[in-house]
Structure 1
Amino acid sequence: MSEATTSEPPLVDPQDAATRVDAGALFIDVRSQPTRERVGAIPGAIIVDRDRLTEHFDDASPERIAGTGDPERPIVVICGSVDGSRPVAQWLLDSGRPNVVHVEGGFPAWKAAGLPTTPGTETDAL
């Protein structure tokens, strides 16, 4: 029998996520570029293409994201909703990165909590 990870990645509220990022967690935003342009971005978040996770997190890849070499480093994943962040957080957990969480409510909750964002083209967008 295989030993696949069966636990789901933990959800944290936006303030907890911000505290983790302030303490040194890698903060990745997996929303598409058009979405970030439309509704806003998060200063300091690293943009990760969900379809290229292997390239972004493989030590041997020239496309590896800086700061991903330590598998123990905490990671916070955010998307527009948990439906987008959960699969990425799960992939990271299954790939041997035990300190992964994702943000309950995604970007809309982050913005509603008054945490740092840059404006998008939609003035009333969350």
Structure 2
Amino acid sequence: MSERPIGPVIPQGSQGPLGIDELLERVRADLDRVTPHEAYDSAEAGGLLVDIRYAALRDRDGLIPGALVVERNELEWRLDPQGSHRAPEATGHDLRVVVICNEGYASSLAAASLRQLGLANATDLVGGFQAWRAAGLPVTA
């Protein structure tokens, strides 16, 4: 058995490994990110809001009514329409999904991951839950 060397994965055509800021910039270039009011309208039109914040933040700040709560480490398994562990809300690859984290960083990476699973309409909320709340949109304790 041969051992693989441990080291950074360098993207094809790159001079070196990406830093998180460059990765985030590249991911966001492919997303049609939405404002809080656009996310609200998307949900009203049948889109799915997915809250990936961890429990302590949800307990502290509240919840978005109607949003599906899925811990980040379960997201791909719960949203893959072909997956054996999918949530009932994961109805198809054409579903509009708006991923929401606390401030809009982790959600961009999560939305890009969902796109890799074929969810072409996955995106995220600019500014995350904090922007949603600041916009005066519904929040429950």
- Which TM-score band applies after superposition, normalised by the shorter structure? 0.7 to 0.9
1:36 and 2:58 correspond: yes
Q: Aligned AA for 1:32? A: Y
Q: Take 2:79 and 2:102, find their aligned partners in 1: how far apart are those partners?
A: 21
1:81-100 to structure 2, matched below 5 A, reads: 81-100=103-122
Q: Is the 8 A contact 2:48 2:95 kept in 1?
A: yes
**Cα distance, 1:87 vs. partner?**
1.3
TM-score, reference length from structure 1? 0.83
Match of 1:24 among 15, 38, 46: 46
1:13 and 2:35 correspond: yes
**Cα distance, 1:83 vs. partner?**
1.2
| 17-26 or 45-54, larger mean C-alpha shift | 45-54
Percent of residue pairs bearing the same amino acid type: 36
Equivalenced residue count is 115
Q: Take 2:31 and 2:116, find their aligned partners in 1: how far apart are those partners?
A: 10
Deviation per CA, 1:71-125, whole angstroms, max 9, x where unpaired? 0011111110121211110101111111112111111110111110013xxxxxx
Match of 2:87 among 65, 68, 71: 65
Q: Take 1:55 and 1:94, find their aligned partners in 2: how far apart are those partners?
A: 13
Q: Is the 8 A contact 1:9 1:93 kept in 2?
A: no
TM-score, reference length from structure 2? 0.74
Q: Aligned AA for 1:49? A: E
**Cα distance, 1:60 vs. partner?**
3.9
Deviation per CA, 1:3-31, whole angstroms, max 9, x where unpaired? xx975322111001100110000110000
Provide the secondary structure at the position in 2 that maps to 1:118: coil
**Cα distance, 1:40 vs. partner?**
1.2
1:75 and 2:81 correspond: no
Q: What residue is the counterpart of 2:76 in the other structure?
A: 54
Superposed CA RMSD: 1.9
Q: Is the 8 A contact 1:82 1:106 kept in 2?
A: yes
